[in-house]
Structure 1
Amino acid sequence: MLDRDVERLRRLDRLYHGTEAHCISELRMRKVVFHKLCAELRSRALLEETFHVTIEEQVAMFIHVVGHNWSNRPIAFEFMRSGETVSRYFNLVLDALCILARDLVCIKSIDTHQKITSSHGRFHPYFQGCIGALDGTHIPACVPMHMQDRFRGRKKFQSQNVLAAVDFDLRFLYVLAGWEGSAHDSYVLQDALSRTNGLKIPEGKYFLADAGYAARPGVLPPYRGTRYHLKEYKGAREPENPKELFNLRHPLLEQLLSEHLVP
């Protein structure tokens, strides 16, 4: 048992304090971000260390489940723990992160971002009041056999249609998971807006959205039936009317939102 504990500590030390690239590959985040997350969970008393399992190890096991889609047994083997230990700490970390998300996943500011205001004539004042973008993404789902038809959509696998909204600093403002992969984006958005604890868009502000959503207060999609994708404007194909000009700037602004995205 002593040899096992020494080997585990050696592996964990290599995981937390190894190279930056290795940490990003295994933990899906930079070392400084990982340690800040653990420190935040520790300072808020959302997780507690035990004599045998540190908070860092608890979080690392959790990330291997959600970041690599590992099941219980491979994690138990990799971390030299029992399956019961892995399952118990996964649920503890999940509960802690759900509590932490209440303070982190929310609208931080309703001011028009500097990325827009500093681009006068291109994005400003045309996108004055834009506070971010929202879209749906399909996440693989493992569901019982009798429910699988509902989770089959345009993907080749069963999936959830997850709605996410982000601001121009790449911070999540809202996330709604659980809808079947067959659900249309507009239905998922309607559900998010109708919930008492759902997405609340401030008066006079709005999010960018793609053509899968209808225009409504707080949501600004591109013009339908008009060139939209950037590849359609390559070469000498300049916008020919105001609608095409708007549809050109719309995805450019979405691209500006995510151009600095890093793992």
Structure 2
Amino acid sequence: MEERIANLNNIYNCNDVEAIQMLQMRIAPFYALVKTFWDRGLLTDSIHTSVEEQVAMFLHVVGHNQRFRVIHNTFRRSTETFSRYFQQVLCTIGELRGEMIKPTSMNTPTKIKNNYRWFPYFMDCIGAIDGTHVTTKVPRLMSAAFRVRKHYTSQNVLAGVDFNVKFTYVLVGWEGSAHDASILADSLSRPDGLQIPDGKFYLGDARYAC
């Protein structure tokens, strides 16, 4: 108990450099996020843990891409407790998606509008798309479809970004061996897929021709 409290005090009272290393955000935005959850009644203290600790546990997992069984020792919590509070914070953040995730502007980006060389060719371009392979574990019977040329299993993830390098769209779940054109075609066919207004386009390499 004493070790856990000391660790939490170290997080709550750290400087911005340490906060970014531990939480992937500065200390002031961390407390602002906690206050938002608290003021709106989205998260509450329990008999076992505070809202600050719940959010800190969540940020440790997503910020460092660590499994519960690795992180739980840092907070001296069981993996079951860690999992429960992680799910609660994740669902709570989803409640704020309308405020935190802003739709991409369909207007011509300023850096293109103000560049005489780019404007004639890219005035209708709203972003760029590309794929990346994310390592994944799958059942042995499915491994052939997910195995790539470098002999590991992965998902082929489609991502779109705007000219501020902010994600506008991400599609996961496709096998590592899937062709980029097939993934793009799937995305465009989905009701909630990649939306490209008439007259606009995303930059992409030749693999996305479909």
Is TM (by shorter chain) over 0.5? yes
Residue 185 (1) aligns with residue 184 (2): no
Q: Distance in 2 between matches of 1:161 and 1:58?
A: 32
CA positional deviation for 1:70? 2.3
Alpha-carbon distance change, 70 to 143 in structure 1, aligned in 2, over 3 angstroms: same
Where in structure 2 are the equivalents of 1:52-67 lying within 5 Å?
52-67=48-63
Q: Number of residue pairs matched?
A: 210
Of 125, 128, 135, 1:133 maps to 128
CA positional deviation for 1:138? 1.5
Alpha-carbon distance change, 107 to 124 in structure 1, aligned in 2, over 3 angstroms: same
Where in structure 2 are the equivalents of 1:6-45 lying within 5 Å?
6-45=2-41
Where in structure 2 are the equivalents of 1:219-230 lying within 5 Å?
none
CA positional deviation for 1:102? 5.5
Where in structure 2 are the equivalents of 1:198-217 lying within 5 Å?
198-214=193-209
Residue 124 (1) aligns with residue 119 (2): yes
Q: Which residue of 2 is the match for residue 89 of structure 1?
A: 85
For 1:25, the aligned partner's letter is Q
Aligned Cα root-mean-square deviation (Å): 2.5
Q: Which residue of 2 is the match for residue 109 of structure 1?
A: 105
Q: Distance in 1 between matches of 2:182 and 2:36?
A: 35
Q: Distance in 1 between matches of 2:10 and 2:180?
A: 42
Q: 1:163-187: CA deviations, max 9, x gaps?
A: 1212122322111111121112221
Tell me, which stretches of 5 or more residues in structure 2 are unaligned? none
CA contact (8 A) 1:106 1:172 kept: no
CA positional deviation for 1:77? 1.0
Q: Secondary structure at the match of 1:134?
A: strand
TM-score (norm 1): 0.69
Alpha-carbon distance change, 183 to 200 in structure 1, aligned in 2, over 3 angstroms: same
Q: Secondary structure at the match of 1:111?
A: coil
Q: Which residue of 2 is the match for residue 80 of structure 1?
A: 76
For 1:118, the aligned partner's letter is N
TM-score (norm 2): 0.84
Of 156, 160, 165, 1:165 maps to 160
Alpha-carbon distance change, 10 to 45 in structure 1, aligned in 2, over 3 angstroms: same
Q: Which residue of 2 is the match for residue 232 of structure 1?
A: none
Q: Which residue of 2 is the match for residue 236 of structure 1?
A: none
Alpha-carbon distance change, 104 to 184 in structure 1, aligned in 2, over 3 angstroms: farther
Q: Distance in 2 between matches of 1:186 and 1:43?
A: 46
Tell me, which stretches of 5 or more residues in structure 1 are unaligned? 217-263
For 2:185, the aligned partner's letter is Q
Q: Which residue of 2 is the match for residue 49 of structure 1?
A: 45
Q: 1:49-80: CA deviations, max 9, x gaps?
A: 32432333223323333333322222221101
